[in-house]
Chains A and B, each alone.
Chain A
């Protein structure tokens, strides 16, 4: 098993806008070790989501090499990428992205359905218990609060027992109390050994991670190496 679950080497990302191309990521180099809890921060438009999409195998870099769990992602085809997203990654979105016409339980089962798992209702029930929603299995998202919805989404991200959780502003749409609940869950998961990469704007949230990667204009400003002797606050003081 590879020590670095994510390794990014000279990642560039360009988008073409009509005739022009805009460079969003400019030579991003970093690695994230197995079991780390990393927060990616930076100004709006600095390219955080773009980077997370590449890490999440939803997008490919224009240039540079990306290794996930030691596997070179650049060369994989669409189906193989889908398989990796399904088996190795868990996504948590700012706007939850639950399927509105499914119950909480059915929502948690979605990823497992793509694995044809027969035990998925059992797994879904267990995970919803764990995030404190065991009593709301048959409720639809519309009947739930934002915090509850995000906990369903976390249960869904955990359903396939992935190595790496990717969260883009997971507390961005939540009140502070729900945000604290979600962060409590993240810390628990981190302690259990999950690797978590979280994009956030909120310093109070970001500081709860082990490491902060600070982003500016498509480059990592600091935090590209996981130096665990240094706290995020120390990094910040630099």
Chain B
């Protein structure tokens, strides 16, 4: 019997036992749907990590106070900006930043918002673009001007109006009157735990004098000259700060230095770990589905012993019987694969409601189909072999 003919025979077998075939498929359906989701979530989270850090230059370095609970209070301050600028040849730019919560109100809206005190360099260091207006100037920093630049989301929340209408309006921060100088284009990105879109940016000096006080430890954003200077910059910064803070050799750093590159790497690592975990789950589900197929096929072979004997008497070769049952298993598995892919694709949009990033991909489809086929071959072979090797006389005598 030819292959096509045998495939038809196998499809007949699946179709004539619709209900059983479908129940057998369930494991495969769930398995392939899981694969589709896994790949969608995996690709999605990788992409969101990439997006999150795409605008962050890998040459960016952060200097922060050491973790709370360290034995000595940090001496990190805005003076260190000058220290780094003078002592670190691998560094191109440095900008300080302090942040804290403050009550911000415009009209009748009041919000508790993260207020960031920054200098004019902050714009170029974080690649800010403006929908309207412009960023703080050096002059506004030196004159402690009461001017605020708003993230896209907070601007909308406070004013409920388009960016063009907001510039020039006034708002109150901790009951001090500020003028809006600009609205930043939506970034959709977070920096640490602060989203730029939710931030209110005011001059560093203004923040120290009127809003946050001088006791808040700043965070420094440092730009290395190029990728190759990141490493030397890290040690230069550490050395310069240790000297400025007068730390003895046996004392620990009272600050932390972190480069964006390692942050990106850590996030990608997390995303990858998640993918691996999900793939492991999908594999287990498929394995269980495959064992289900093997079980049902074994029962089916037993039930159809007489059919097998009859077919052998009528001229079926062992390989014809083997193929018939193997194709049946593969068919069940592949149909399950198709339905599973459909189910997975149907569930993907639902994940959006759970705010899980997903991306549809060809990759997922191919993996899902390949897996379902392989499962069919692997778990269908043993029952099919058993069918082919059954003794035709005993099979004919079987009642």
A positions within 8 Å CB-CB of B: 53, 56, 58-59, 78-79, 82-83, 85-87, 91, 93, 97, 99, 101, 110-111, 113-116, 156, 160
Contact = CB atoms under 8 A, between A and B. Distances in A.
B2 A116 contact: yes
B310 A99 contact: yes
B42 interface: no
Interface in B307-330: 307, 309-320
Given A93-B396, A99-B310, A85 B315 contact: yes
Contacts of A83: 315, 317
Interface residues of B, number: 22
Given A58-B392, A93-B396, A97-B396, A110 B313 contact: no
Contacts of B319: 79
Contacts of A87: 315
A101 B304 CA distance: 11
A110 B311 contact: yes
23 contacts: A56-B313, A58-B312, A58-B396, A59-B393, A79-B319, A85-B315, A86-B315, A91-B313, A91-B314, A93-B396, A97-B306, A97-B309, A97-B313, A97-B396, A99-B307, A110-B310, A110-B314, A111-B315, A114-B1, A114-B315, A115-B315, A116-B1, A116-B2
Contacts of B313: 56, 58, 85, 91, 97
Contacts of B316: 82, 114
Which 7 residue pairs across A and B have the least CB separation, nearest first?
A86-B315, A82-B317, A97-B310, A114-B315, A101-B16, A111-B314, A114-B1
Contacts of B392: 58
Contacts of A113: 1, 5, 9
Contact of A114 (B309, B314, B318, B393): B314
B314 A86 contact: yes
Given A99-B307, A116-B2, A78 B16 contact: no
A111 B313 CA distance: 9
Given A93-B396, A99-B310, A79 B1 contact: no
Nearest to A99: B307
A113 B315 CA distance: 10
Contacts of B314: 85-86, 91, 110-111, 114, 156
Contacts of A160: 315
A87 B316 CA distance: 11
Nearest to B1: A114
B312 A82 contact: yes
A87 B5 CA distance: 18
Interface in B1-40: 1-2, 5, 9, 16
Contacts of B309: 97
Contact of B317 (A56, A78, A116): A78
Nearest to A57: B313
B372 to A, nearest CB: 25
Contacts of B393: 53, 58-59
A100 to B, nearest CB: 8
Nearest to A81: B317
B5 A116 contact: yes
